[in-house]
């Protein structure tokens, strides 16, 4: 069998391919392509920046505004560093766009208008269908509007396009086909933007005032247990659908569990 053929199905490998395009088996005869190693290291570093930020907000109840600034700055620094190390991946794309720095500047200046249109569209859907999405701008309230424009309208076009289109997708294309590169880079984009706080569903049971502060008694789906939350430390609340009435997750069950804890 040819050295360029898959040991499992016999199909010929694509140039520099790490996997067989026919059966998906790993190409054993080749070492790990340098571009693939570079992309993996880059994405792991991006995740290493995001994870502490999520932990700080979710578990330590840190400031979402400060966390957003620090995380966005860290992602930008990492992206610029890796992009500078492999300029050969994204620079040819820049040269084939059809316009120069002035064109990119015009696109950047149009970003606030696009943001306003998107927010208006979401608000219209919310009003028309009674949907209550999370307020993405909640953490920016009380701060200068340029913080919102910088972190939502200006930074993503620079950092995300350079990271996922310029470095990750192009690096994958050195080894994989178009379809595989699109799928993997899209999953990487979605994973980095996964909002863990939005996945933490709680069944609200009751509000209690303790003289100085309010607390919310709720059933936590993730921990499968009752929890109390201080409302003054809650940054954002999204109202979802009605929860089913399930035994073991009701207010009576919560009060019974509290009495049992107090009796110990």
Same domain, 13 and 86: no
pLDDT in tens, 163-199: 998 899 998 888 788 888 899 999 999 888 775 555 5
- The first and second tokens of residue 61, run together, are 């109840």
Structural contact between residues 135 and 144, judged by C-beta atoms closer than 8 angstroms: no
Residue 2: per-residue pLDDT: 46
Cα gap 208→73, rounded to integer Å? 39
Same domain, 191 and 254: no
Check pLDDT > 70 for residue 257: yes
Q: Which helix (H) or strand (E) holds 46?
A: helix 34-58
Of 194, 261, 198, residue with least CA distance to 227: 261
pLDDT in tens, 100-154: 778 878 888 888 888 889 888 878 887 787 665 555 666 777 788 888 888 888 8
Q: What's the CA dihedral at 29, 31, 37, 38 to 10 degrees?
A: -120
pLDDT grade for 81, boundaries at 50, 70 and 90: very high
DSSP for 162-197, written as a single string: IIIIIIIIHHHHTTS-HHHHHHHHHHHHHHHT--HH
Burial of 79 per CB tally in 10 Å (0-12, 13-18, 19+): buried
Residue 223: per-residue pLDDT: 62
C-alpha separations of 232 from 160, 163, 213 in Å: 33, 37, 7
Last residue of a domain, one of 198, 223, 239: 198
Residue 31: per-residue pLDDT: 45
Quote the number of domains for the chain: 3
Structural contact between residues 153 and 111, judged by C-beta atoms closer than 8 angstroms: yes
3-state class (DSSP) for residue 202 = strand
Residue 145: per-residue pLDDT: 81
Residue corresponding to tokens 């080894």: 175
Choose between 237 and 241: higher pLDDT: 237
Q: How many CB atoms lie within 10 A of CB 99?
A: 10
C-alpha separations of 14 from 7, 21, 24, 47, 94 in Å: 14, 7, 12, 30, 26
- Residue 71: give the domain boundaries: 34-198
Structural contact between residues 217 and 206, judged by C-beta atoms closer than 8 angstroms: yes
Cα gap 219→227, rounded to integer Å? 6
Same domain, 59 and 156: yes
Same domain, 98 and 185: yes
Same domain, 164 and 76: yes
Instruction: Quote the percentage of the chain above a pLDDT of 90.
Output: 12
Last residue of a domain, one of 198, 214, 249: 198
Residue 1: per-residue pLDDT: 42
Last residue of a domain, one of 179, 198, 217: 198
Same domain, 230 and 149: no
Same domain, 188 and 242: no
Check pLDDT > 50 for residue 12: yes
Structural contact between residues 250 and 204, judged by C-beta atoms closer than 8 angstroms: no
Cα gap 220→243, rounded to integer Å? 12
Check pLDDT > 80 for residue 238: no
Give CA angle at 177 (173, 180), nearest 5°: 95
Same domain, 156 and 246: no
């Amino acid at each position: 069998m040819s050295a360029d053929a898959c040991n499992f199905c016999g199909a010929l490998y694509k140039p520099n391919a790490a996997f067989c395009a026919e059966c998906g088996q790993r190409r054993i005869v080749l070492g790990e392509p340098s571009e693939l190693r570079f992309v993996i290291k880059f994405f792991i570093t991006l995740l290493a920046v995001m994870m502490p930020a999520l932990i700080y907000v979710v578990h330590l109840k840190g400031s979402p505004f400060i966390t957003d600034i620090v995380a966005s700055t860290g992602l930008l620094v990492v992206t610029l560093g890796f992009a500078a190390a492999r300029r050969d991946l994204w620079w040819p794309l820049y040269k084939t766009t059809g316009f120069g720095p002035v064109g990119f500047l015009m696109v950047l200046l149009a970003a606030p208008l696009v943001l306003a249109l998107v927010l208006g569209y979401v608000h219209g859907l919310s009003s028309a269908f009674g949907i209550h999405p999370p307020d993405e701008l909640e953490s920016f309230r009380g701060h200068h509007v340029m913080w919102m424009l910088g972190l939502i309208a200006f930074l993503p076009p620079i950092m995300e396009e350079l990271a996922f289109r310029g470095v990750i997708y192009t690096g994958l294309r050195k080894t994989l086909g178009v379809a595989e590169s699109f799928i993997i880079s899209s999953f990487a984009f979605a994973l980095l933007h996964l909002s863990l706080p939005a996945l933490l569903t709680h069944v609200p049971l009751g509000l209690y005032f303790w003289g100085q502060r309010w607390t919310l008694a709720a059933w936590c789906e993730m921990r499968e247990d009752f929890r109390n939350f201080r409302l003054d430390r809650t940054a954002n609340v999204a109202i979802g659908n009605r929860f089913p009435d399930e035994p073991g997750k009701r207010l009576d069950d919560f009060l019974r569990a509290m009495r049992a804890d107090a009796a110990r």
